Structures are given as structure tokens and as C-alpha cells.
Structure 1
């Protein structure tokens, strides 16, 4: 097998691992990876704004806003206008949101981060530079991405599309 074939196979394995985790997360908790991250961010600081959540988890404000809309519709979170500053809308978990979060597994990237940080500094740098080079070779440098390990849309995956 050529080296480029081995590399592409390794990339497909990584994508597949993320995909399997995403499906498993949705199956067992009914949450997507971004939903899980947002719920965890809200529980860490009740009364946080959507823009603060977006900044803290490095997702776009538009993405966070859409996810919050869906979670509010599912009654996992609720919004309240700040009593001190009427321009600020603060986010809080509902009891249903707290119950769901307490049963949810650890996000995939937390396990990855623990293992990555256990590596020697030189190996961390090597992996980082290699992945940055791969992204450049795939013309993916300018793509909008966040450090959330997720593949595709759960609704599409669940409906077999």
C-alpha cells in the first residue's frame, strides 16, 4: 500500500470514529455534540449569553443561536432578559435540560484532549503541524471549523440520508 493510501485510510478511520461517536451520543442522549457543549457551558455559568457561549466553545454565533432555538423548543433551556440590562438575554437550563445533561457522556474531544496532553511536547507539535499541513493540502485552511468533533447533521444521519 502506498503511503498516501495509508494516510487516507487513517483519515477515513478518524472520520468514522467521530461519526460513530456522534451517532452513539444522539442515540443514548438525544443530543448532538454542539448541543452537549452548549448545555455544559450553560450549566457551568447560569445566566450566560449566547454570544459568550459561542465565544467560549468557538462556534459561530449563528450556529449557537440555531442550536439554542432547537434546545429551547425541546424545553432543555430557557431565556430570560437581564433585570439589570434589558439588552442582555441570559440562558439557563431547565430541569429537563439538567436531567439530560447528567446522563450525557463526556464529549469526544475531552477524551482526545486528555490523551493529546499526555503526549510529550515534541509529539504534540509534530501532530499539530502534520494536521495543519494535511488541511492545507486539502485546501481546507479557510473552511469555518470549530474544535467540536462531530460529523454531519444528526437528523440526516437518523433518517438515513
Structure 2
């Protein structure tokens, strides 16, 4: 293995370690996964939303959204309300406990990355996007359904495995 390959693999491993460490720290401090916190933050910033809106905004499947919502409802962090005009529609919002946990949650790797990435020049952003897309293609992961959430504990029910149990 040449030096550049080792450097790239080491950098990728560092990214995985920092995201895993962030997810574990969040779980210890709040009992939430990164995906759950991102979902709560989305509701914090925008009032009531439907599950479909949340799935589209976060970039996860409807099934994954439902699983996350059920856990958050069970913890009394989110409440469901039937639509008045259309009773089939369900509106989601934070409970007071949900607001408290979002306020108390530590800043995560997402916030740091988003802030620092936004500070880069356009050409630097484009270069990083191109390089990471190329790496995803090289690893055979270009077409995997993945949300823009660094969460090693995330549930993704859209990926089926063919490996034996």
C-alpha cells in the first residue's frame, strides 16, 4: 500500500472515529441518537411538520422516520396531532420535554462541519464534494440510500442485506 492510500484511509478512519465518538457522547448525555436529535432540531426550528416532510428534509425513508418518531413519542419528546381539515394527516411537534432536551444537547459534529464548510471558498467546497463523491463511487457506495447524518447508530430500513444471519 502506497503512502497516499494510507493517508486517505487514515483520514477516512479519523472521520469515522470522530462521528462515532460524537454519537456515543450524545447518547451518554441525552439518550438520543444523532438521527433523533436532528429530527428534534428540525421540529424546534420549524414548528409542526408531517412525517413525510421530516423524511424529505432529513433525507431518510418514511419507514426510518416512523421508527424514529415512535421512539421519540414514547419518550414524550414529540406529540402527534390529527389534522383538523384532513383527519388522515398527522402533525408532529415538540413537547416541552423535547424543547428542553434540544436546548441541553451538546453541539455535534454536524454543526461544526456545517459552519466550517460554509466558511470555505466555493472552489474548495466543490473540490471536497467531488473528492468524497469519487470515494463513495470507488467503495461501491455511490447509489446507497444515505442521509446527511453522521450517525453510526442510525436505523436504515431501506438497505437490505443478503448476508446470512
Aligned mates of 1:47, 1:124 — CA distance in 2: 32
Question: RMSD value over aligned CA atoms?
Answer: 1.5
Residue deviations 1:101-153, cap 9 Å, x none?
A: 11012342121011011111111111111111111110011111011111135
Matched, 1:92 2:97: no
Three-state SS of the structure 2 residue aligned to 1:91 is strand
Match of 2:149 in 1: 148
Q: Residues 1-161 of structure 1: matches in 2 within 5 Å?
A: 2-152=3-153
SS in structure 1 of the partner of residue 79 of structure 2: strand
Say if 2:35 and 2:154, in contact at 8 Å, map to a contact too.
Answer: no
User: Is residue 23–residue 152 contact of structure 2 (8 Å, CA) maintained in 1?
Assistant: yes
Give the 3 Å change call, closer, same or farther, for CA 123–153 of structure 1 in structure 2: closer
**Alpha-carbon distance change, 151 to 134 in structure 1, aligned in 2, over 3 angstroms:** same
Task: Look up the SS of the partner of 1:47 in the other structure.
Answer: coil
Report if the CA contact (8 A) 1:36-1:107 is conserved: no
Give the deviation of 1:17 after TM superposition: 0.5
1:158 match: none
Aligned length: 154
Structure 1: which 5+ runs fail to align?
155-161
List structure 1 runs of 4+ shifted beyond 4 angstroms: none
State the Cα deviation string for residues 33-67 of structure 1 (Å, max 9, x = none).
Answer: 11111111122233211111111121211111100
Relative to the length of structure 1, the TM-score reads 0.89
